[in-house]
């Protein structure tokens, strides 16, 4: 490379400074590759903001409140403690992947699809209906970060799981999306949304019981004198 002299017309001077910065930046990148991290303090932000030095990997935590499953898309099983429990946990290597994460103003589109191999045993359990809500947390790290710093990249909950010929797709909705979506509103009238005497209904079943005696039975027809004072279908035996 031929550099222009430091002294000269303003145009030459600017060109010289541009070429010098370009050469220094390139030399610094080559030095980091040869010497690891070049003795400088390299943090998560350094490779994250660099096109050349970024070597990201991801950790995936699936938690249904009872059990936790940990995966990584790295080539090797990793030991890490992004949850800050004080004890590093194993994150098992898997052919797991996710679609590009994009946040928009449309809450229906704030979701990420995570894919598993069709043979993955855990992913197949997600195909079955579950009573628990499964939350998903994705951390992102860089191989070039000597501190092993991990940042939360995505957090949401599983809303759908489907299988195809090649993989199992798990749709994860952003955690804040459900809070922004209108839910079922209370209605204080006969069309209450709660099942009678069940959870959410403030009536105590024992307070409304009426002891009665069956005087005759013919198939499914019962004769109860105490029920005669009310219209048909008022009582439930």
Tell me whether residue 199 is exposed, middle or buried, using C-beta atoms within 10 angstroms of its C-beta: 0 to 12, 13 to 18, 19 or more: exposed
| pLDDT at residue number 2 | 38
Instruction: Give the model confidence (pLDDT) of 129-173 as tens digits.
Output: 888 899 999 999 998 888 888 999 989 999 999 998 889 999 998
pLDDT at 46 over 80: no
pLDDT at 234 over 50: yes
| pLDDT at residue number 32 | 46
Long-range residue pairs from 176-183, CB within 8 A, at least 24 positions apart, any chain: 177/107, 177/110, 177/111, 180/107, 181/107
| pLDDT at residue number 31 | 43
Q: What is the pTM for the complete model shown?
A: 0.56
For CA atoms 13, 19, 23, 26, give the dihedral sign. positive
Instruction: Give the model confidence (pLDDT) of 138-147 as tens digits.
Output: 999 998 888 8
Structure tokens at 109: 């589109």
Q: Which residue, 130, 121, 218, 108, is CA-closest to 174?
A: 108
Taking residues 52-65, what's their average pLDDT? 87
Residue 205's pLDDT band, with cuts at 50, 70 and 90, is confident
As assigned by CATH, the class of the 45-180 domain is mainly beta
**Average model confidence (pLDDT) for the chain?**
76
What residue has token string 């903001």? 49
| pLDDT at residue number 119 | 92
Taking residues 172-191, what's their average pLDDT? 64
| pLDDT at residue number 35 | 43
What residue has token string 């955690």? 175
């Amino acid at each position: 490379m031929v550099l222009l002299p430091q002294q000269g017309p303003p145009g030459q001077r600017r060109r010289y400074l541009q070429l010098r910065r370009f050469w220094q930046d390139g030399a610094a990148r080559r030095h980091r590759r040869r010497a690891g991290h070049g003795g400088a303090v390299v943090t998560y932000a350094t490779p994250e903001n660099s096109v050349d030095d970024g070597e990201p990997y991801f950790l995936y935590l699936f938690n249904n409140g009872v059990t936790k499953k940990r995966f990584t898309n790295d080539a090797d099983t990793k030991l890490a403690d992004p949850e800050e429990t004080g004890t590093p946990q194993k994150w098992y290597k898997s052919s797991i992947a996710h679609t590009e994460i994009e946040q928009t103003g449309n809450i229906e589109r704030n979701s990420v699809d995570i894919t598993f191999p069709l043979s993955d045993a855990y992913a197949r359990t997600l195909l079955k209906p579950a009573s628990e809500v499964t939350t998903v947390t994705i951390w992102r790290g860089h191989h070039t970060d000597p501190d092993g710093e991990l940042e939360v990249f995505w957090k949401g909950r599983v809303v759908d799981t489907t299988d195809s010929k090649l993989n199992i797709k798990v749709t994860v909705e952003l955690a804040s999306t459900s809070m922004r979506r209108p839910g079922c509103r209370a209605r204080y009238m006969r069309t209450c949304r709660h099942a009678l005497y069940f959870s959410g209904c403030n009536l105590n079943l024992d307070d409304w019981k009426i002891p009665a005696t069956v005087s005759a039975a013919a198939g499914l027809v019962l004769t109860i004198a105490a029920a005669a004072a009310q219209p048909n279908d008022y009582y439930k035996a």
